[in-house]
Amino acid sequence: MARATHSFPDSFLWGTATSGYQVEGQSTNTDFWRWEQLPGRIAQGHKSGRACDWWEGGRWREDFDRAANDGHSAHRLSVEWSRVQPAPDRWDDAALDYYRQMVRGLRERGLTPLVTLHHFVNPLWVADTQRNLWESAEIVLLFAAYVRKVVGALGEFVNLWATINEPNVYMVFGWVNGIFPPGKKSIFAAMRVAANLLRAHAAAYCVIHELQPQALVGLPIHFRPIFPAHPDFWPDRWVAQTQFNLFSSLFPDAVRTGRLRQVLRPSLPIPEAKGTLDYFALNYYSADVTRFDLTNPRELFGRRSFPTDAEPDSSGLYASCPLGFYEALKWARGLRLPIYVTENGIGDETDGLRRRYLVTHLRQLWRAVNFNWNVRGYFHWSLVDNFEWERGWTHRFGLYALDTETQVRTPRPSARLYAEICKSRALSSDVVAQYTPELLETLFP
Ligand code: IFM
């Protein structure tokens, strides 16, 4: 077979994504650390512990070396609010300086940093009052002050920012199904939190642009296309649209219109949020099929499952559904903003599924780029296995396997596969033949 190549533009960013809590270790002054200590919260009682030892052991250096050697050109990381502002009246300049070293370290290795300012975790003082401060509008100015500090300190090296990671997941996990702290199950509290997340994002957007007019600011959305199980049956169509509107498109629509959709209430005007996105930050993992089910009010009377042709991971957290990725990109394109894929990946200890996941998803990404859609970068989740929240260490998302005892990293075949793609800025039939020969005919007919 003749060699065929799907090329990407030279300026396209190739990288991986991480978050502070999941890789740094010993994030003791946080609500999630306290949550981890409660029985039954984390699978098998796992603890984040030293995680990937980025903070105390400084192993971000060796991991950035890995990324650079593998030909990556970017990396997404997050700053932990609890380290920068351990108490309401105290800023930790040494912590800020350490983050500055990290982003400088990325630049020195030729990697473009994308920095997230909030990734699911709060300092204890934000979560430790009578009610979590995300339920109160007070959070907006507090978050803006923190953002000002971080952007002031890191701005010399960073101009790609993400304000709040997956506000849709954070709101649902923290306030609807209670999987994350504060562990509440109240749809009305969740709606208050959604409004405050949006206001805080808008305030952060203004602060960043005041300090850095040329910055690009995004709000990463965990985006799940939701298809009706029976497209001819209107209740299935209705429930699919409702779930989509209240999860995947809730925040992007609010930024577009300045109004936040509510459950059982008219939409809430938040005019300051209108237009506060410079790019769409797409986190895509899986798609869903949903059917109307009166017995499931918590999921808005729908019951979701994976599409029948999707390939689930070993525990059913996500499933490989590359066409869903294409649908997500197509939807995002409608926003008429540049797109960065800020997360995409699968937990797979043995790496068989991950290799297929990578090439089939990158093939869909290439289709989008080839149609001249404005997609500017791809950040694979993740570089090294890290602490997967309520799933603890049971879910391994890394291109590199991590031994948490010894901190030894071992490349999975996908690390080499991704390195070849990053270095050549292309997905070629040779690479597919080498790493996923079973897909060669399908991807390069
Ligand atoms: O690990 C998470 C990340 O923190 C947010 N997006 C999804 C990832 C995988 O579940």
Residue type, 121: V
Task: Say if CB 163 and CB 218 are below 8 A apart.
Answer: yes
Task: Say if CB 260 and CB 254 are below 8 A apart.
Answer: yes
Burial 173-187 (b: 16+ CB within 10 A, else e): bbbbeeebbbbbeeb
CB-count burial class (<10 Å; 0-12, 13-18, 19+) for 430 = middle
Task: Say if CB 172 and CB 247 are below 8 A apart.
Answer: yes
- Ligand 1 atom closest to Cα of residue 388: 1
Closest residue CA from atom 1 of ligand 1: 388
Contacts with 437 (C-beta within 8 Å, 6 or more apart), sequence order: none
The confidence score (pLDDT) of residue 360 equals: 98
Q: What is the pTM of this model?
A: 0.98
Q: Count the alpha carbons within 13 Å of 444 in the hemisphere toward its beta carbon.
A: 18
In DSSP terms, 282 is beta-bridged to 221, 341
Query: 264-271 — which CB contacts under 8 Å span 24+ positions?
Result: 265/191, 268/191, 268/195, 270/195, 270/198, 270/199, 270/202
Task: Say if CB 224 and CB 332 are below 8 A apart.
Answer: no
DSSP string, 94-159: HHHHHHHHHHHHHHHTT-EEEEEEESS--BHHHHSSSS-GGGSTTHHHHHHHHHHHHHHHHTTT--
The confidence score (pLDDT) of residue 1 equals: 65
Contacts with 414 (C-beta within 8 Å, 6 or more apart), sequence order: 351, 354, 355, 358, 399, 435
Closest residue CA from atom 2 of ligand 1: 388
Residue from 285, 381, 385 to probe ligand 1 pocket by mutation (most atoms less than 8 Å from CB):
381
- SS3 state of residue 228: strand
Phi, psi values for residue 48, rounded to 5°: -70, -35
381 Cβ closer than 6 Å to some ligand 1 atom? yes
Task: Say if CB 263 and CB 327 are below 8 A apart.
Answer: no
78 Cβ closer than 6 Å to some ligand 1 atom? no
Q: How far is CA 267 from CA 189, 259, 328, in A?
A: 15, 6, 24
19 Cβ closer than 6 Å to some ligand 1 atom? yes
Phi, psi values for residue 87, rounded to 5°: -140, 160
- Ligand 1 atom closest to Cα of residue 389: 1
166 Cβ closer than 6 Å to some ligand 1 atom? yes
- SS3 state of residue 404: coil
Report the C-alpha gap between 305 and 293 in whole angstroms. 12
Report the C-alpha gap between 172 and 187 in whole angstroms. 9
Q: How far is CA 411 from CA 289, 307, 383, 403, in A?
A: 34, 31, 10, 12
In DSSP terms, 304 is beta-bridged to 290
In DSSP terms, 303 is beta-bridged to 291
Quote the ligand 1 centre to 32 CA distance (angstroms): 14
Enumerate domains of the chain plus CATH numbers: 5-443 (3.20.20.80)
Q: At what angle do helices 352-370 and 413-424 cross, to 10 degrees?
A: 20
400 Cβ closer than 6 Å to some ligand 1 atom? no
Tokens 């649908």 locate to 327
243 Cβ closer than 6 Å to some ligand 1 atom? no
* pLDDT tens track, the chain, 445 positions: 678 999 999 999 999 999 999 999 999 999 999 999 999 999 999 999 999 999 999 999 999 999 999 999 999 999 999 999 999 999 999 999 999 999 999 999 999 999 999 999 999 999 986 779 999 999 999 999 999 999 999 999 999 999 999 999 999 999 999 999 999 999 999 999 999 999 999 999 999 999 999 999 999 999 999 999 999 999 999 999 999 999 999 999 999 999 999 998 999 999 999 999 999 999 999 999 999 999 998 889 999 999 999 999 998 999 999 999 999 999 999 999 999 999 999 999 999 999 999 999 999 999 999 999 999 999 999 999 999 999 999 999 999 999 999 999 999 999 999 999 999 999 999 999 999 999 999 999 9
Task: Say if CB 252 and CB 221 are below 8 A apart.
Answer: yes
- Ligand 1 atom closest to Cα of residue 222: 6
313 Cβ closer than 6 Å to some ligand 1 atom? no
In DSSP terms, 90 is beta-bridged to 87
Task: Say if CB 318 and CB 287 are below 8 A apart.
Answer: no
What is the C-alpha end-to-end distance of the chain, expressed in Å? 10
The confidence score (pLDDT) of residue 128 equals: 80
283 Cβ closer than 6 Å to some ligand 1 atom? yes
360 Cβ closer than 6 Å to some ligand 1 atom? no
Closest CA to 304 of 172, 165, 166: 172
Tokens 């497209």 locate to 231
The most distant pair of C-alpha atoms in the chain lies apart, rounded to whole Å, by 67
Quote the ligand 1 centre to 222 CA distance (angstroms): 9
